[in-house]
Amino acid sequence: MMVEAPITIQDLQSVVTQECPPFPEVELKAFVQHYFRFRDAYLGILGNHPPPIYVLEPSVLEKRAHKFREAFRAHLPETAFYFAVKSNNHPEVSNILLGCGFGLEVSSGLELETALRLDAREIIFNGPGKTEAELRLAARHAERVVVLMDSFGELHRLQDIAAKENTQVRAGVRLTTNPEGLWRKFGIVPDDLPSFLETAGHCAHVRLVGLHFHSSWNLTPDSQIGFIETLAGILTRMPGSFNKQLEFIDIGGGYWPAQGEWLQTAGTPKGMLRKALGRQAESGPVHYRMPALSIERFAEQLGAAIREQILSKLDCRIFLEPGRWICNDAMHLLISVVDKKAEDLVITDAGTNAVGWERFETDYFPILNLTRPAMTERPCHILGSLCTPHDVWGYGYWGEDIRPGDMLMIPTQGAYTYSLRQNFIKPVPRVITDGDLR
């Protein structure tokens, strides 16, 4: 067992001095102004569907899917795209993306059942700890499902199940990109690939045809490119027969939307240190942004690395599994003010069970007062109606005032919010689909 070195004064000083870029005011105002431009349309929806609600915009999904696909095909013509269902598991999101030529990447039997019900023809089944029932469902639909195996044990279970079903399953194996810490739960360590290949050679009902890896929260492609270089070294050491049998390399997802990661002060390294020390988290008008590369730059840099490191050694397709990048901007939360307890404190009709976690204590998203719009952000605690103090939407709103009955909008809540919603104290909001907002 590894013993971590103790935290030193120098470690704490490095956190305190670590800079986090402030959110450029011009860009933030442009974002807010964009959604205020469609204010009447959102208020019109609220006139027919009382809050709290999610609004899903199919046209945004379609545009994002097209942009992502075109960016990568400009550099990697032989590519296939699979939407990561876990990022937003509303069936209509997957259905729209199927219509855009995407397949689906699922991480559970529940998601696999949804994909089959939607008549998806290309499905990747990923994730650790697949149960026998889940593997059996995949084997019974072997013509549509590729199983990304996560361990030697899963290989043996899949072989036994596929044999009983009298079928052969196309499969890949996940390679872990980090053999230490919590991420070691995913896949096998790369050094075990030769042994895995030998074992798979004795499994007549499992046809190993691909490799997979994934890194998350990619503001740039640096982590992915680093592992692509590692993978190139692995492929050089593998038998030529293995490289010939590979039909795909799946480089996963984790692409961050180009607007980057937006943070409250509490989400910065200094803010997290204050929390660890038991200090009150600061809240106020200053916001921070960790910038991300555009998807065109992602595609350009990843494409160059893949062509040089991978496609120079073998002839295969490249699979991509975007989730957050596709659905983030396509869904918004609309809520209303129920009570104003002070000039700087209001309670809304929705609780953060609608997003499933205390997101807005650290993440920043502008709250737009659709009823009383203004291009000024005013300080105010915007809190939910759950019986917990962590029920926070934000610490300010964009508007001229805020009163009971006002309709508020939190834009771009399409990724890792709806999927994480939970029935805690209050019901979760309904989803309203409207493709004619813009």
pLDDT digits (tens, 9 = 90+) for 254-309: 999 989 999 998 888 777 777 767 776 656 678 999 999 999 999 999 999 999 99
- Dihedral angle over CA of 100, 105, 108, 110, nearest 10: 10
Instruction: Mark whether 293 and 316 lie in a shared domain.
Output: yes
pLDDT per residue as tens digits for the range 338-376: 999 999 999 999 999 999 999 999 999 999 999 999 999
Specify whether the CB–CB gap between 392 and 428 falls below 8 A.
Answer: no
Specify whether the CB–CB gap between 168 and 207 falls below 8 A.
Answer: yes
Asked, for residue 261, whether it belongs to a domain, the answer is no
Query: Residue 338's domain is classified under what CATH number?
Result: 2.40.37.10
pLDDT per residue as tens digits for the range 95-153: 999 999 999 999 999 999 999 999 999 999 999 999 999 999 999 999 999 999 999 99
Whether residue 210 is predicted with pLDDT greater than 80 in this model: the reply is yes
Whether residue 329 is predicted with pLDDT greater than 60 in this model: the reply is yes
Nearest to 158 by CA among 189, 176, 167: 167
Strands (E), 73-228: 79-84, 103-106, 123-125, 145-149, 169-174, 206-212
Q: In the chain, pLDDT over 70 holds for what percent of residues?
A: 93
Range of the domain at 42: 20-54+329-433
Alpha carbon distance 358, 250 (integer Å)? 32
- 67 pLDDT band, cuts 50/70/90, is very high
CA atoms within 13 A on the CB side of 47: 8
Asked, for residue 263, whether it belongs to a domain, the answer is no
Query: Residue 250's domain is classified under what CATH number?
Result: 3.20.20.10
- 1 pLDDT band, cuts 50/70/90, is very low
Specify whether the CB–CB gap between 316 and 211 falls below 8 A.
Answer: no
Whether residue 216 is predicted with pLDDT greater than 80 in this model: the reply is yes
As to burial, measured by CB atoms within 10 angstroms (0-12 exposed, 13-18 middle, 19+ buried), residue 325 is buried
Whether residue 15 is predicted with pLDDT greater than 80 in this model: the reply is no
- Strands 79-84 vs 103-106: parallel, antiparallel or unpaired: parallel
Asked, for residue 268, whether it belongs to a domain, the answer is no
**pLDDT at residue 284 in the model:** 63
Instruction: Mark whether 36 and 163 lie in a shared domain.
Output: no
Asked, for residue 275, whether it belongs to a domain, the answer is no
Q: Give the chain's domain count.
A: 2
